[in-house]
């Protein structure tokens, strides 16, 4: 049964045992929890490690009464997560935010950790018999997640070192496909410079895009304001993380330095 029919309320914390840990490579793992959340692709959950912290993570799949997230070790929280084993109990709240709203023929473009939520998106597109193409980029073949899953769906790959697919930026693959084929919508998740390039591509091609943004999040439900973007005040945890082309036009700090955990912009001069 798909997760779509199994609604869970979002605001309460569910303390759940880790059911399975999937090792992708050093510092990159998926964590499966035994509960279906009624999450749309592109939505996220807040994951709590008792005694450590709570952070947002995109849903990388929902199947048969299970929810999965995929994490990369970059700092204190994600490193603590890498030490979690089956049976350890963690807290999950969610799903939160607005995910992808599929329509028409899609071009799915992912980079780095941004590939994780796109896996759930393409599973849904496949279930719905939608027409779509996939292009994915990572630094190396080793860092490319879910290669088997995406290859089955005809994905094209780009790596910085040429160890998988073409040696180029994933946006070059996306541009070429847009010249050769007609799409109604570009779905994107990945580093912000990649998203900026995709927005320009969508503008040039005159088609819509839905791009997933990351901003510093604390509450996940639009109260604390830490993920509000300059210009529009859009709260990324509530109105995003996925924004469409018209909404992105309102984001003054799209592609620019944005606010950190303290609320200060990363490029702002320090107070004397």
Positions that interact with ligand FAD (CB under 6 A)? 44, 55-58, 69-72, 74-78, 113, 116, 214, 216-217, 241
242, 203 Cβ separation under 8 angstroms: no
Distance between CA 183 and CA 106 in Å, rounded? 6
Least distance to ligand FAD, CB of residue 17, Å: 20
Least distance to ligand FAD, CB of residue 199, Å: 18
Beta bridge partners of 67: 33, 62
* Residue nearer to ligand FAD on the CB measure, 56 or 165: 56
- Nearest residue to ligand FAD, by Cβ distance, number only: 75
DSSP 8-state symbol, 238: T
Distance between CA 81 and CA 92 in Å, rounded? 13
DSSP 8-state symbol, 229: P
Tell me how many degrees the CA angle 155-210-47 measures, rounded to the nearest 5. 85
* Residue nearer to ligand FAD on the CB measure, 31 or 132: 31
186, 200 Cβ separation under 8 angstroms: no
Distance between CA 118 and CA 105 in Å, rounded? 15
Least distance to ligand FAD, CB of residue 71, Å: 4
* Residue nearer to ligand FAD on the CB measure, 214 or 239: 214
Least distance to ligand FAD, CB of residue 167, Å: 25
Least distance to ligand FAD, CB of residue 116, Å: 4
- Give the CA-trace dihedral at 193, 202, 166, 149, to 10 degrees: 100
* Residue nearer to ligand FAD on the CB measure, 25 or 204: 25
* Residue nearer to ligand FAD on the CB measure, 78 or 159: 78
């Amino acid at each position: 049964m798909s997760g779509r029919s199994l609604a869970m309320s979002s605001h309460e914390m569910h303390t759940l045992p880790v059911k399975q840990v999937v090792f992708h490579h050093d510092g990159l793992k998926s964590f499966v929890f035994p509960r279906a959340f009624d999450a749309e692709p592109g939505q996220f959950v807040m994951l709590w490690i008792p005694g450590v912290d709570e952070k947002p993570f995109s849903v990388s799949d929902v199947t048969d009464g299970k929810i999965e997230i995929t994490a990369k070790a970059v700092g204190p929280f994600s490193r603590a997560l890498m030490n979690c084993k089956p049976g350890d109990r963690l807290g999950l709240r969610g799903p939160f935010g607005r995910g992808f709203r599929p329509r028409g023929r899609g071009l799915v473009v992912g980079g780095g950790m941004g590939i994780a939520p796109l896996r759930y998106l393409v599973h849904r597109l496949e279930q719905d018999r939608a027409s779509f193409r996939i292009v994915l980029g990572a630094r190396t073949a080793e860092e490319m997640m879910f290669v088997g899953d995406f290859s089955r769906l005809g994905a094209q790959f780009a790596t910085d070192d040429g160890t998988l697919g073409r040696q180029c930026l994933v946006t070059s693959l996306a541009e070429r496909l847009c010249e050769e084929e007609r799409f109604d919508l570009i779905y994107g998740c990945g580093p912000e410079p990649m998203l900026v390039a995709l927005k320009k591509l969508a503008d040039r091609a005159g088609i819509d895009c839905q791009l997933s943004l990351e901003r510093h999040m604390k509450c996940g439900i639009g109260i604390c304001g830490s993920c509000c973007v300059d210009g529009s005040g859009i709260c990324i945890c509530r109105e995003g993380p996925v924004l469409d082309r018209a909404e992105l036009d309102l984001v003054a700090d799209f592609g620019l330095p944005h606010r950190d955990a303290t609320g200060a912009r990363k490029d702002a001069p320090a107070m004397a």
